[in-house]
Amino acid sequence: MVEPKKRYTLLIAEEDAVIRKETSSFLQLQGYDTLEAGSGSKALELLRSHKPDILITDLRMPGLDDSELLKITLQEFPLTPVIILSGMGTMQDAIDLLHLGAFDYISKPIQDMELILHSVKKGLEHLELKKRAQSHTDEMEALVRQRTMELLQQNKQLEKEMKKRQVQETLVLHAKQEWERTVDSMPEMIALVDNNHHIVRMNHSMQQKIGKPYEEIINKPCFHWLHGMQCPHGKCPHVKTLTDFREHTEEFYEPHLNCYVEVTTVPYKDPDGTLIGSVHIVRDISERKNQQKDYERLFESSRDAIIVTDESGFLDCNHAALKMFGYKDKEEFLTLCPADVSPEIQPDGTFSAEAAEKQIREAIEGRGVFFSWEHKRKDGSIFPAEILLSPFEREDKLVVQGVVRDVSDRLLADKDKEKLQSQLLHAQKLESVGQLAAGIAHEINTPAQFIGTNIDFLDEAVQDFIEFITQLKKIMATATAETEQAICHALEEADWEFLVTELPQAIAQSKDGVQRVTSIVRAMKEFSHPGSKEKVLYNLNNIIETTVTVARNEWKYVAEVKLDLDEDLPQLPLLVDEMGQVVLNMLVNGAHAIGDKLGENPQGDKGTITITTRNGKDHVLLTISDTGTGIPEESRTRIFDPFYTTKAVGKGTGQGLAIAHDVISKHEGAIRVESTAGKGTTFTIALPFDKIAKI
């Protein structure tokens, strides 16, 4: 039992001052602070001013209508558990209040104050669990908001790059159209240079950039204005074009123009096809150079790994990539390709080499690719990652920039949250099942009792009636012929020979039916009994028999359940209600698997579910086998994961086996599955006497 780690405040709303004081004093002795209210209005005032952790209230309080205090509490303080005390309500009242949202219902007079204490502790555990769930929800919402902002920023950056590229393409198209009308109207600096390296013509843009009169520039050597001291060193693009008749491009700082330029020379021929020079297209790339420097700074300062690659392998990387993958030598890392830093096969079954090549190809052909991946470090360890691939130009070639983010910590946090959600769902499911079973058992028990009593009466009456007819037949032997004939006729009209045979059988069958109903009610009461949060010594066979009886409607149409239970089984330290949930989940799963195998209209024999218990040396073995569809091989490693299911949408939640695995772990036990597709599945569970079990 989880003991309170802080002093909790309980509000007791009770018209009867004696009961109110007695309850308050008892709870104070248990370490709780209490508030008292003798009316509904006073209770509401204290509730709003002090915000107690739990409200304990009578069903009907002066000053407020029936259940009005409960409704206001649930509306204004949805996390606060409400425990109802009432000596006037009916079972239907209790069910209605629980449906409205009350946490528990206790009838007055209270014979044992431990009932209130037990309900308070359960309520506080429920309160803390809901608070933790709310806290995790808030954290995840914050994480989602943060991730959304990051994605928005990335999208904005991509949009910016796309807009820039669109602008450049528009400028190129515009320049071509303008060239057809007049070269002087082009924004780029353009010059025509002859075979003697003299500038024959230039457009207005180049003249403005050089800042000299047109006459001073024309017929002067090109390297005076366009490519500085590059020509004497054999790097002049004009010389290269005149040599090989091809287009060439060079980038350098041009002191005459006071900027970084990109100079492209294109062969220029006369109408006869004779090379007479080259066309110089000069662009100011200072802004691009500055952006490149900014990119290089961001490239190295990024906490994520950034890798430039193409289909042949890695081309560049930042320091974070070396650190993430465990390499110290950048040259060594750049000899690798994506398949070298990935396991051979990804979790989805695809080969890493083929999948990586496909993703890179799609990134180059498209606008970007985002996906999850498993990577491998130099030491062989595997880690999960998220990757964003973006295409960009590098040295006149489309390559891909990959941003790799290690998400190991985030996935671990997600797994912890899923486990907490699973535990909360488990607790809610057990609570709902218990309430439903208790209600049904109560409703069935009373009519079953008077039906059984009436059948006993009818049984005695039938026996008396049979004795009467027997005596009557003896009297017929001494009666007149007329009287004997009249009695025989009356017996034939009543079909006495049929009745004397069938009535006892009908009575016996009715008794058997009532006995079966009684056993089901008893099993449902045991199944719904509030389980302890601490382990108690209990017989596992009893749990199995009770669960099989309660769940009969789940399996009776598709399977026969065979029990092979060891009568000498010792008692085990168990969480009784949770172990019952394990057996129930396994039983229902087996019935569903058999039903899937038989189809919607089953023909022929039913399937079989076999449950066996055996006493081992230091543990008890429980096996549950079915003759259903079996578990696909690719799913067997994931069946215990929360929310994973192989069932159709709407038929499975993916929680049953996850809850079973968690419960077995609480018992320091072990669980193993063996399955053959099309033949069935066997779950083997080992529960220790006093230490960890192994199978």
Task: Specify whether 554 is located in the same domain as 686.
Answer: yes
The C-alpha atoms of residue 613 and residue 627 are separated, in whole angstroms, by 18
Query: Residue 437 pLDDT more than 70?
Result: no
Query: Residue 201 pLDDT more than 70?
Result: yes
Task: Specify whether 359 is located in the same domain as 464.
Answer: no
Q: Is residue 91 part of a domain?
A: yes
Query: What is the rounded average pLDDT of the residues 435-451?
Result: 64
How confident is the model at residue 609, as a pLDDT? 92
Task: Specify whether 271 is located in the same domain as 346.
Answer: no
The C-alpha atoms of residue 305 and residue 323 are separated, in whole angstroms, by 8
Query: Residue 55 pLDDT more than 60?
Result: yes
pLDDT tens digits, one per residue of 538-553: 888 988 888 888 778 7
Query: What is the rounded average pLDDT of the residues 8-26?
Result: 87
Q: Label residue 286 by pLDDT band (50, 70, 90).
A: confident
* Three-state helix/strand/coil letters over 142-204: HHHHHHHHHHHHHHHHHHHHHHHHHHHHHHHHHHHHHHHHCHHHCCCEEEEEECCCEEEEECH
**Of residues 495 and 317, which shows the higher confidence score?**
317
Q: Are 678 and 630 in contact (CB under 8 A)?
A: yes
Is this prediction's pTM over 0.75? no
Residue numbers of the domain that contains 193: 182-289
Q: Is residue 166 part of a domain?
A: no
Nearest to 629 by CA among 557, 677, 560, 587: 677
Q: Is residue 23 part of a domain?
A: yes
The position carrying tokens 């719904």 is 528
Task: Specify whether 101 is located in the same domain as 229.
Answer: no
Q: Is residue 4 part of a domain?
A: no
Nearest to 544 by CA among 619, 471, 620, 597: 620
Q: Which of 432-436, 498-502, 626-630 is the most confident on average?
A: 626-630
**Of residues 25 and 1, which shows the higher confidence score?**
25
How confident is the model at residue 525, as a pLDDT? 55
Q: Is residue 331 part of a domain?
A: yes
For residue 334, what is the domain's CATH number? Answer: 3.30.450.20
Query: Residue 554 pLDDT more than 50?
Result: yes
The C-alpha atoms of residue 438 and residue 474 are separated, in whole angstroms, by 54
**Burial class (CB within 10 angstroms; exposed 0-12, middle 13-18, buried 19+) of 314:** buried
pLDDT tens digits, one per residue of 230-246: 444 456 788 888 888 88
pLDDT tens digits, one per residue of 137-162: 888 888 878 887 887 888 888 888 88
The C-alpha atoms of residue 61 and residue 85 are separated, in whole angstroms, by 11
Nearest to 10 by CA among 100, 95, 119, 94: 119
Q: What is the CA radius of gyration of the chain?
A: 43
The C-alpha atoms of residue 440 and residue 448 are separated, in whole angstroms, by 12
Alpha-carbon separation of residue 677 from 591, 593, 596, 674, 681 (angstroms): 16, 11, 13, 10, 8
Q: Which two tokens stand for residue 184?
A: 């002087």
Q: Tell me how many degrees the CA angle 148-152-155 measures, rounded to the nearest 5.
A: 140
Q: Is residue 577 part of a domain?
A: yes
In 75-223 the beta strands, taken as DSSP E runs, fall at: 82-86, 104-107, 189-194, 199-202
Q: What is the DSSP letter of 439?
A: H
Total domain count, the chain: 5
Looking at 476, 493, 528, the residue that finishes a domain is 528
Task: Specify whether 673 is located in the same domain as 567.
Answer: yes
Task: Specify whether 225 is located in the same domain as 262.
Answer: yes
CB atoms within 10 A of CB 577: 20
How confident is the model at residue 558, as a pLDDT? 87
Q: Which two tokens stand for residue 296?
A: 């290089």
The position carrying tokens 């650190």 is 323
How confident is the model at residue 610, as a pLDDT? 94
Task: Specify whether 643 is located in the same domain as 553.
Answer: yes
Query: Residue 637 pLDDT more than 70?
Result: no
How confident is the model at residue 611, as a pLDDT? 93
How confident is the model at residue 564, as a pLDDT? 92
Percent of the chain with pLDDT over 90: 6
Query: Residue 628 pLDDT more than 80?
Result: yes
Query: What is the rounded average pLDDT of the residues 3-21?
Result: 81
Looking at 289, 323, 352, the residue that finishes a domain is 289
For residue 22, what is the domain's CATH number? Answer: 3.40.50.2300
Put residue 535 in one of left, alpha, beta given phi > 0 → left and psi -120 to 50 → alpha: beta
Query: Residue 557 pLDDT more than 80?
Result: yes
Looking at 75, 107, 133, the residue that finishes a domain is 133
The C-alpha atoms of residue 562 and residue 71 are separated, in whole angstroms, by 48
Task: Specify whether 270 is located in the same domain as 320.
Answer: no
Q: Label residue 613 by pLDDT band (50, 70, 90).
A: very high
Q: Is residue 482 part of a domain?
A: yes
Q: Are 403 and 425 in contact (CB under 8 A)?
A: no
Task: Specify whether 543 is located in the same domain as 676.
Answer: yes
Task: Specify whether 535 is located in the same domain as 673.
Answer: yes
Task: Specify whether 511 is located in the same domain as 552.
Answer: no
Q: Is residue 160 part of a domain?
A: no
How confident is the model at residue 435, as a pLDDT? 57
Handedness of CA 567, 569, 572, 574 (dihedral sign): negative
Torsion of CA 382, 388, 394, 399, to 10 degrees: 70
How confident is the model at residue 636, as a pLDDT? 63
How confident is the model at residue 315, as a pLDDT? 87
pLDDT tens digits, one per residue of 89-143: 667 767 777 777 888 888 777 778 888 888 888 888 888 888 888 888 888 888 8
Task: Specify whether 689 is located in the same domain as 554.
Answer: yes
